[in-house]
Amino acid sequence: MPKANRDDETASDASEVTDRASKSRAAVQNLIETSERAGGQKKLPAVYDGSFGRTLYDTSGSSDGSVTVVMPPDKILSVTSQALLRIESHPDGRRYVGTVSAGPFYDPDGISADSTAMVISAVNGAIGMPGHHGRLQLQLLGEERGGRIGPANRRPIPNSPVFLVDDAEMSSILGLEGDFAIGRVMGHETVDVPVPVHKKSVLYRHTGVLGTTGGGKSTTITNYAAGIAAEGAAVILLDTEGEYTTMHEVTADADMLALARAQGLPIKGVPNTHVLTLVGREPSNPDHPSHTEFTLEFSVLSPWTAIEILGMNDAQQGRFLAAYDIGRRLLGEINVFPVKKDVESERQALDWDEMESGYPHLTLALLIDVVSACIAHLKKGEVTFWASDLMRKRTDAQVKLKEIVDQTELEKVPSSWMKVSGLLWRMHRLKIFDRADAARLDVPAMLKPGRVNIIDLSDLDSPVLRNLAIAQVLRQLQTEQERAYELASVKGQTPTPVNLIIEEAHEFLSTARIRQMPTLYEQVARIAKRGRKRWLGLTFVTQLPQNLPDEVLALINNWILHKIQDESVVGRLRRTIPAIDQSMWRSLASLQPGQAVVSLAHMRRPIMTQIHPSTAKLRLES
Where is 506: in which H helix or E strand?
helix 505-508
Measured between alpha carbons, how far is 358 from 397 in angstroms, rounded to an integer?
21
Domain boundary among 393, 428, 463: 428
Confidence at residue 401, expressed as pLDDT on a 0 to 100 scale:
95
Q: Do 466 and 565 belong to one domain? A: yes
Answer whether residue 273 is part of any domain. Answer: yes
Q: Taking a C-beta distance cutoff of 8 angstroms, is the pair 224, 195 a contact? A: yes
- Of 439 and 150, the structure prediction assigns the larger pLDDT to 439
Say yes or no to pLDDT of 13 above 80. no
Position 1 scores a pLDDT of: 53
Are residue 384 and residue 469 in the same domain, yes or no?
no
Note the pLDDT of residue 18: 56
Same domain, 160 and 201: no
Q: Is residue 620 part of a domain?
A: no
Cα–Cα distance, 439 to 450 (Å, whole number): 22
Q: Mean pLDDT across the stretch 65-73? A: 91
Instruction: Kindly write down the DSSP assignment for every residue of 20-38, as one continuous string.
Output: HHHHHHHHHHHHHHHHHHT
Q: Pick from 167, 184, 255, 262: which is nearest to 223 by CA?
A: 184
* Secondary structure class of 213 (helix, strand, coil): coil
Based on the number of CB atoms within 10 Å of its own CB, is 38 exposed (0-12), middle (13-18) or buried (19 or more)? exposed
**Domain shared by 454 and 541, yes or no:** yes
Q: Is the pLDDT of residue 320 over 60?
A: yes
d(CA 498, CA 206): 11
pTM of the predicted model as reported, rounded to 2 decimal places: 0.81
The residue range of the domain holding 342 is: 300-428
Distances (CA, A) of 73 to 81, 115, 129: 16, 20, 13
The pLDDT assigned to 6 comes to 46
Same domain, 146 and 229: no
Q: Would you say residue 563 lies in a domain?
A: yes
pLDDT at 196 over 70: yes
Assess if residue 32 is contained within a domain. no
pLDDT of residue 17: 44
The answer to the question of residue 7 being in a domain is no
Q: Are residues 310 and 459 in the same domain?
A: no
Residues 499 and 533 in one domain: yes
Q: For residue 69, what pLDDT is reported?
A: 94
Please tell me the predicted confidence (pLDDT) of residue 50.
Answer: 87
In this prediction, what percent of the chain has a pLDDT beyond 70?
A: 95
Q: Which of the residue ranges 317-321, 350-354, 456-460, 520-524 would you say has the lowest mean pLDDT?
A: 520-524
Q: For position 105, what pLDDT does the model report?
A: 92
Average pLDDT score over residue span 451-475: 85
Across 280-285, average pLDDT:
91
601, 563: one domain: yes
pLDDT digits 0-9 by tens, 15-44: 554 566 577 677 777 877 777 776 666 678
Whether residue 419 sits in one domain with residue 307: yes
What mean pLDDT comes out for the span 313-326?
A: 94
The average pLDDT across 334-351 equals: 91
286 and 359 within one domain: no
What pLDDT shows up at residue 19? 62
Q: Which helix (H) or strand (E) holds 456?
A: strand 452-456
- Is the distance from CB of 97 to CB of 164 less than 8 angstroms? no
Q: How many domains does the chain have?
A: 3
In this prediction, residue 509 carries a pLDDT of 79
Helix (H) or strand (E) holding 428, with range, is helix 414-428
pLDDT score for 15: 54
Q: How far is CA 200 from CA 21, 140, 207, 228, 607, in A?
A: 75, 28, 13, 13, 21
| Last residue in a domain, options 428, 456, 489 | 428
Residue 92 CB coordination number (10 Å): 10
pLDDT digits (tens, 9 = 90+) for 292-317: 999 999 998 899 988 988 889 999 99
For the chain, what is the mean pLDDT?
A: 87
Banded model confidence at residue 14, pLDDT cuts 50, 70, 90: very low
Average pLDDT score over residue span 203-229:
94
Using the predicted structure, report yes or no on whether residue 512 has a pLDDT greater than 60: yes
Contact 420, 320 (CB under 8 A): yes
Considering only CA atoms, which of 344, 281, 263 is closest in space to residue 594? 263
Mean pLDDT of 606-621: 89
Mean pLDDT within 429-440: 90
Residues 6+ apart with CB under 8 A from 432: 278, 279, 280, 295, 296, 465, 468, 469
Cis peptide leading into 151, omega within 30 of 0? no
- Please give the torsion angle defined by the CA atoms of residues 292, 427, 240 and 206, in that order, rounded to the nearest 10 degrees: -100
Given a contact cutoff of 8 angstroms between Cβ atoms, the answer to whether 446 and 236 are in contact is yes
- Ranges of H-type helices in 38-147: 116-123
CA–CA gap between residue 175 and residue 598 (Å, rounded): 13
Per-residue confidence (pLDDT) for residue 621, from 0 to 100: 66
Residue 219 lies in a domain: no
Task: Please check whether residues 530 and 591 belong to one and the same domain.
Answer: yes
Q: What CATH number is attached to the domain comprising 521?
A: 3.40.50.300
Q: What is the pLDDT of residue 128?
A: 67
Supply the CATH number for residue 96's domain.
2.40.30
Is the residue at 265 inside a domain? yes
Mean pLDDT, residues 132-157 taken together: 85
For range 113-127, the mean pLDDT: 77
> Same structural domain for residues 583 and 508?
yes
* Residues whose CB falls within 8 Å of the CB of residue 524, separated by 6 or more in sequence, listed in order: 474, 509, 538, 552, 555
> Last residue of a domain, which of 363, 397, 428?
428
Q: Which residues contact 571 (CB under 8 A, 6 or more apart)?
A: none
Q: How far apart are CA 11 and CA 559, in angstroms?
A: 78
Reported as a single tens digit per residue, the pLDDT across 402-419 is 999 999 998 888 888 999
Q: Worst-scoring range by mean pLDDT, 124-138, 326-340, 345-359, 548-562? A: 124-138
- Would residue 433 count as lying in a domain? no
